[in-house]
Amino acid sequence: MTDPYAAATATASAQPQSNGNMQGTSTPVSAAGTRALDPKANPFATPDTVGGGGGPRGPRWPEILGRLIVLEPTRLLADQPVPNQPGQKQSFYVCNLTVLGTGKVEVYTPAREVEGKTFPEETQIFDTPYTWQDWYTYGKAMTVKLEACLKAGFPLLLGVVKRCPTGAGYRKGETWQDTERIYAAYMAAVAAGREPTKPQFSWAVIDPTPEQQQQALTWYRERSAAK
């Protein structure tokens, strides 16, 4: 069986779900490669296995910072409006997001009003591994990585979530460690009562360790065997 992670992580070095009205175009991506990896796998999805609009809200990037994740892109949304930036457009992938490892993921939803009805704030807690369907993988850095992953013929992208440099930062030779250090200094200044300028960064994933790669392969093979 072809290893779905080796090249995907070799090319690997944003925000999640949105409930707003989307515009622009939607381009499907082929799922054939996923099933071709395991000819014995059940090729049929069912309503319960693919979820839907009524599923649990996915985490935001800060809620999975430092976690090992798998992204399975299902479609590309192009020319979507950028929130609070009139006239600006963005393209991003919709993915099935799986957070691996042990522990929990806490997903916070602020209080909100929908069609005149007020909903209180809520925190949902998920044991991992857990998969969220149709997670909006916002961020140019992640769009580039997922595009490269699919172009290389791999349906899954594996990585560890980190704050990473912007394009300008990478051109200056900055690393994700530099970004984390700068952000930590910013938070320390805020805690001390100062009002520093918030540093710019991008949400992205970095290469997993060999141990994390093996952990992901174990999860993948168990998932395939169960189908």
95 pairs with which residues across the strands?
Answer: 73, 135
Residue 67 pLDDT more than 50? yes
pLDDT in tens, 107-118: 998 888 888 888
Asked if residue 78 is part of any domain, the answer here is: yes
| Total domain count, the chain | 1
Compute and round to an integer the Cα radius of gyration of the chain. Answer: 18
| pLDDT value of residue 145 | 95
Let me know if residue 211 belongs to a domain: yes
Q: Residue 183: inside a domain, yes or no?
A: no
Residue 105 lies in a domain: no
114 alpha carbon, distance to own chain's centre: 26
- In this structure, is residue 171 part of a structural domain? no
- Domain of 91 in residue numbering reads as 6-100+132-165+201-225
Whole-number Å distance between alpha carbons of 116 and 120: 13
Please report whether residue 29 resides in a domain: yes
Please indicate, yes or no, if residue 113 is contained in any of the structural domains. Answer: no
**pLDDT tens column, 132-162:** 999 999 999 999 999 999 999 999 999 999 9
- Residue 8 falls in which region: left (phi positive, over 0), alpha (psi -120 to 50) or beta: alpha
How much is the average pLDDT of 175-183? Answer: 96
